[in-house]
């Protein structure tokens, strides 16, 4: 779906983290809906380098960009020479900043702050130099265990990832006071949808449960999963919010969710309906009691008012739209 009628002919768009989940979906949105735009994807791509928790440092994967015809640059946003080269040899109109250390269980606080906060400041300077609108990925992790519904201004991060995203938001607010470019931070809630598979173990539980079921296994849920609620948002609504954030003069920090909390049990029940299965669920003790968010729900009132954002996908709609891709990925990548 096309979310804006504005022409992007002769406009140059930079997407950092463009080989990742959300970045690659943005790249294809522009290719499909604004073919006259010049889209530049920047990604560090995966190298096999791992964090201390055993997860990959970068989830960028070439398969997320199969069919993409724009420009692709392999590089790290921490590379100041690379950013200087981008400033000198391009003229960006929009920057969509999706690159980050996004693993919420990462223990490397130094790398998290360097990549998520310090490199973002350098990218803001690039945006200012080019008079480019900046749209960047913040996160619901900024709220930690804050009471639902989560509302901007009530942050309480409980891991370094959430802290780094809140630091980006605070930096953005300071820059907003002194520059004319539009800066929009989008706090994503629990995103699921196509091109997330290469996030490995950090991919959504929608995908992970789908593959459990397709493997003929009983879905494994925590005890009382019907009481563990999240604001699950389909990737199409994330893209919608990003595109609507392109309009000038609407700087701010906005939640991007559905505004409705749904359970992990709802996910499994919906998947079984769409996949035509009736496997009994297995319930196991939750080892994360005390360190786990049991309820997230985005307050989207300001997002609706300022951006014109309106979520189009209920959980059932999103899973129905996604299930054919879940089957394809299972057949081509998992089996």
What is the dihedral angle through the alpha carbons of 79, 82, 83, 88, rounded to the nearest 10 degrees? 160
Side-chain-side CA neighbours of 92 within 13 Å: the count stands at 29
| Nearest alpha carbon to residue 16 among 168, 218, 221, 202 | 168
Using only C-alpha atoms, the chain has a radius of gyration, in whole angstroms, of: 19
Report the first-to-last Cα separation within the chain, whole angstroms: 32
Written as one string, the DSSP assignment of 228-279 is -EE-EEEHHHHHHHHHHTTSSS--EEEEES-S--EEHHHHHHHHHHHHT--P
* Other C-beta atoms lying within 10 Å of the C-beta of residue 178: 7
Q: Which tokens go with 261?
A: 């909390």
Written as one string, the DSSP assignment of 88-131 is HH---SEEEE--S---TT---HHHHHIIIIIHHHHHHHHHHHHT
Task: Give percent helix, percent strand, percent coil of the chain, each to the nearest 5.
Answer: 40, 15, 40
Cβ atoms of 117 and 168 within 8 Å: the answer is yes
What is the dihedral angle through the alpha carbons of 64, 210, 287, 145, rounded to the nearest 10 degrees? 60
150: Cβ–Cβ under 8 A, 6 or more apart, which residues? 140, 143, 255, 296, 297, 298, 299
Widest CA span in the chain: 59
* Other C-beta atoms lying within 10 Å of the C-beta of residue 9: 10
Kindly list the catalytic residues: 161, 199
Q: Which tokens go with 140?
A: 């619901």
């Amino acid at each position: 779906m096309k979310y804006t009628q504005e022409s992007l002919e002769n406009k140059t768009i930079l997407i950092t983290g463009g080989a990742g989940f959300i970045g690659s979906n943005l790249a294809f949105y522009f290719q499909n809906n604004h073919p006259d735009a010049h889209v530049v994807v920047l990604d560090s791509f995966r190298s096999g380098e791992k964090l201390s928790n055993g997860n990959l440092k970068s989830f960028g994967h070439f398969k997320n960009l199969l069919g993409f015809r724009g420009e692709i640059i392999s590089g790290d946003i921490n590379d100041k020479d690379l950013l200087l080269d981008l400033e000198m040899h391009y003229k960006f109109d929009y920057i969509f900043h999706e690159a980050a250390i996004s693993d919420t269980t990462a223990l490397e606080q130094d790398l998290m702050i360097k990549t998520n906060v310090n490199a973002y400041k350098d990218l803001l300077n690039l945006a200012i130099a080019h008079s480019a609108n900046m749209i960047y990925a913040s996160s619901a992790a900024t709220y930690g265990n804050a009471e639902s519904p989560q509302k901007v201004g009530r942050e309480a991060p409980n891991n370094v990832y959430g802290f780094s995203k809140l630091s980006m938001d605070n930096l953005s607010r300071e820059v907003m006071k002194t520059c004319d470019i539009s800066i929009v931070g989008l706090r994503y809630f629990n995103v699921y949808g196509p091109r997330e598979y290469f996030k490995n173990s950090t991919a959504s539980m929608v995908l992970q449960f789908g593959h459990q079921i397709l493997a003929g296994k009983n879905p494994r849920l925590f005890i009382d999963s019907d009481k563990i609620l999240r604001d699950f948002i389909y990737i199409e609504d994330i893209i919608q919010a990003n595109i609507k954030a392109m309009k000038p003069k609407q700087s701010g920090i906005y939640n991007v969710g559905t505004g409705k909390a749904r359970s992990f049990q709802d996910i499994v029940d919906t998947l079984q309906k769409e996949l035509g299965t009736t496997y009994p669920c297995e319930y196991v003790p939750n080892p994360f009691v005390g360190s786990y968010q049991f309820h997230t729900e985005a307050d989207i009132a300001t997002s609706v008012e300022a951006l014109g954002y309106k979520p189009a996908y209920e959980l059932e709609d999103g899973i129905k739209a996604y299930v054919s891709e879940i089957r394809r990925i299972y057949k081509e990548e998992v089996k």
